[in-house]
């Protein structure tokens, strides 16, 4: 899992995924994602408050890999978060 090194909002969904992916033992790193570099076989998702991951097929003219297992992993990790009654 590569988190982009960028000006991003580390929202609740991202924090939940980082925590749960760590518990699951999934490797995570943060690094710049440069447009001019080859994205290789990277898959991508967008996430927000209503979903832990929707697959992205391209960024600009750059095609991204399709990886349903990656998207399923994000959804499974998100679902592992315990609800806390307040």
pLDDT of residue 79: 96
User: Would 42 be classed as within a structural domain?
Assistant: yes
User: Would 40 be classed as within a structural domain?
Assistant: yes
Is it the case that residue 62 has pLDDT exceeding 70? yes
User: Would 84 be classed as within a structural domain?
Assistant: no
Tell me the C-alpha distance between 10 and 75, whole Å.
17
Instruction: Tell me the two tokens of residue 12.
Output: 């609740």
- The DSSP output letter for 6 is S
User: Would 21 be classed as within a structural domain?
Assistant: yes
Domain residue limits at 24: 2-79
pLDDT band at 9 (very low <50, low <70, confident <90, very high): confident
How many separate domains does the chain show?
1
* pLDDT tens string 22-59: 999 999 999 988 776 666 788 999 999 899 999 999 88
């Amino acid at each position: 899992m590569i988190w982009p090194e960028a000006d991003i909002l580390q929202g609740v969904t991202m924090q939940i995924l980082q925590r749960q992916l760590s518990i699951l033992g999934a490797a995570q790193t943060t690094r710049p994602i440069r447009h001019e570099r080859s994205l290789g076989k990277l898959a991508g998702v967008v996430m927000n408050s209503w979903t832990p991951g929707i697959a992205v097929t391209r960024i600009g003219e750059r095609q991204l890999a399709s990886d349903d297992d990656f998207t399923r992993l994000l959804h499974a990790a998100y679902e592992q978060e315990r609800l806390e009654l307040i």
